[in-house]
A and B are shown apart, each in its own frame.
Chain A
Amino acid sequence: MSGDAEDRALVERLKTGEEQALEALYHRYSARVYRQASILLGNEAEAEEITQEVFLTLYTKAKTFRGEAAFSTWLYRLTLNAALTRLRRRKKGKEVSYEDYLPRYEPDGHHLGGEGSVVDWSHDAEKQLAGKELQRILQQALDQLRPMDKAVVVLSDLEGVPNREIGKTLGLSVPAVKTRLHRARLFLRGKLAVSLGHSPY
């Protein structure tokens, strides 16, 4: 039986109230749910609460799983919804403008500043900052993304989920997923560039 077929069989048992089925699903998915929640929230204590919430929701809402998507997609949707609700509830600090970190162009569409204006810091990044420091800066920048953009980046670049699946999970069209992903990556790139002492453009 494939992983998804096994999941579906477990959900069918869970629908009848069989707690052992929840045990098996917890064993399979708790690490993933916790990891995804940690990344989305940037906070391990809240990730623990989300993991609790998701498995309780799984128990109470198993009957609403109709099997149209893979169980793992459905569970991820539960995790995302719980995390997005928290992210939206968080007291908003001063909102960071993406615009300040997006590339800029001359009126003719070439990179701002003319030829030689874009610095290739890709090879020096680790020499200037230790890998962990780069990751810390990137996590901080991720935390400044709008919740839905953050979800798209996490799904795409961390989880390797194809854009079509991301669209289904988040209720977005594929072009909308690509637009959000691109702007978010440009923002993250700009943030890394500034941290390394370069222009974000």
Chain B
Amino acid sequence: MAKRSIVGRAQSAICREITDLLVDYMTGELDPETLSAFEEHLALCPDCVAFLNTYKKTVQVTRSLRYGSIPPELRKRVHEFVHRRIKKGRRGR
């Protein structure tokens, strides 16, 4: 992603450029000047606000995917399988 700085161009910064900054924005990696220009653009652009909110929501739904921990009987089954295979491997040596 080759990015042109948006510093000093909040009004003329285009939405495509704002979208390209979302990963760094989410991890707090934007430098202070870029962050300030980013937020200034958002204050002027409801579409980018809507886009940011739905982008964040997507990440939030992804984070909410929780898989139950390994069921105890499965844990036991895998454990026994691994040990059987190891023993078999030893006998075969």
> Which residues in A have some Cβ–Cβ distance to B below 8 Å?
19, 22, 26, 30-31, 34-35, 38-39, 48, 51-52, 55-56, 59-60, 103, 105, 108-111, 115-123, 125, 131, 134-135, 138-139, 142, 153, 157-158, 163, 175, 178-179, 181-182, 185-186, 188-189, 192-193
Q: B51 — which chain A residues lie within 8 A by C-beta?
A: 103, 111, 118
A188 to B14, CA, bound (A): 23
| Cross-chain contact of B82 among A39, A52, A117, A163 (Cβ < 8 A) | A52
A111 to B58, CA, bound (A): 19
B26, closest chain A residue (CB): A185
Report the interface size for chain B: residues with CB under 8 A from the other chain.
43
Q: Which DSSP category, helix, strand, loop or mixed, fits chain A's interface?
A: helix
Q: Are A189 and B82 neighbours in the complex by a CB distance under 8 Å? A: no
> Which residues in B have some Cβ–Cβ distance to A below 8 Å?
1, 14-17, 19-20, 22-24, 27, 46-51, 53-59, 61-65, 67, 69-70, 74-75, 77-79, 81-83, 85-86, 89
Given the contacts A119-B50, A135-B65, A157-B62, A26 and B82 also touching, CB distance less than 8 Å: yes
Q: Are B54 and A121 neighbours in the complex by a CB distance under 8 Å? A: yes
A59 to B87, CA, bound (A): 12
Q: A111 — which chain B residues lie within 8 A by C-beta?
A: 15, 47-48, 51
